[in-house]
Amino acid sequence: MLNARIEERKTQWVDDEETTHMWNLINTNDVTKVKEWLKRDPSAAHMRSADGRGPMWWAYEERNMEIVKELMACGVSFKDPDKYGKTPLDMLTDRPEL
């Protein structure tokens, strides 16, 4: 059942309350709440917004390696492309000023 939910999240790219909430948690560096959410629902690590980006992109963009490690533990890749062909790793090079 979990694997089916993960596949669903990987393929259904939507902007909804969940993606917005996850983005906010990562953007505000709320590692504790991200970890709690992933513990309750590991499939949440695989959600994708309408542009194909998701928690891994946002964690790399914020340079939050603690969240990156949590997402990797849930099986999220840092090599999957978004709708623009960018990967989470590209988020590091797109903001060289940081």
What are the tens digits of pLDDT across the range 33-72?
999 999 999 999 999 999 999 999 999 999 999 999 999 9
Give me the mean pLDDT over the 80-87 stretch: 95
Give the span between the Cα atoms of 30 and 23, in whole angstroms: 10
Backbone angles phi, psi at 17, to 5 degrees: -60, -35
Range picked from 20-24, 78-82, 89-93 for highest mean pLDDT:
20-24
What pTM value is reported for the model? 0.90
Give the model's pLDDT for residue 92.
80
| Model confidence at 98: pLDDT above 50 | no
The residues, ordered by sequence, that sit 6+ positions from 66 with a Cβ below 8 Å of its Cβ are 31
Structural domains of the chain in order of their starting residue, each with its CATH number:
2-93 (1.25.40.20)
